[in-house]
């Protein structure tokens, strides 16, 4: 059974850093694409950073480029999102998502409501004070 568990969220002041972790189980990480998304209540979910997979390529949303970094540790079956220079507008619930088809993750960047064959974690709250 595919499972994703996020951790590392919390409260931080503007300019601070947090590292989110997405611990995976039930599948081989090299067989899946894993990305990070975030959502603010009342707003659509948005892509943050994608994708950790066997191709090793990744990209980030313009709003976080240069500040957020995606990485992975296969020995721990975990994908990380290092977040630096945090801003109040980064406040959201952060989710990791995994799919055996990279296109299913990429599709969510354009069509956030179309979650097909994608597994989600429960999310981690990140709050950045002004």
3-class secondary structure, 90? helix
Helices (H), 1-130: 102-110
Reported as a single tens digit per residue, the pLDDT across 18-60 is 999 999 999 999 899 999 999 999 999 999 999 888 777 788 9
Mean pLDDT of 59-63: 91
Nearest Cα neighbor of 109 from 48, 47, 32, 37 is 47
| Cα–Cα distance for residue pair 84/96, rounded to 1 Å | 18
For residue 123, is pLDDT > 90? Answer: yes
Query: What percent of the chain stands above pLDDT 70?
Result: 100
88 vs 52: CA distance, rounded Å: 26
Confidence at residue 55, expressed as pLDDT on a 0 to 100 scale: 74
pLDDT score, position 9: 97
């Amino acid at each position: 059974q595919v499972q994703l568990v996020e951790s590392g969220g919390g409260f931080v002041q503007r300019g601070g850093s947090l590292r989110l972790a997405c611990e995976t189980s039930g599948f081989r990480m090299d067989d899946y694409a894993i990305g990070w998304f975030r959502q603010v209540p009342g707003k659509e979910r948005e892509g943050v950073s994608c994708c950790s997979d066997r191709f090793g390529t990744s990209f980030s949303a313009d709003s976080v480029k240069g500040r957020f970094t995606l990485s992975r540790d296969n020995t721990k079956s975990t994908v990380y999102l290092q977040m630096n220079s945090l801003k109040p507008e980064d406040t959201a619930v952060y989710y990791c998502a995994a799919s055996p088809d990279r296109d299913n993750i990429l599709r969510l960047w354009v069509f956030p409501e179309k979650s097909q064959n994608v597994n989600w974690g429960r999310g981690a709250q990140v709050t950045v004070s002004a």
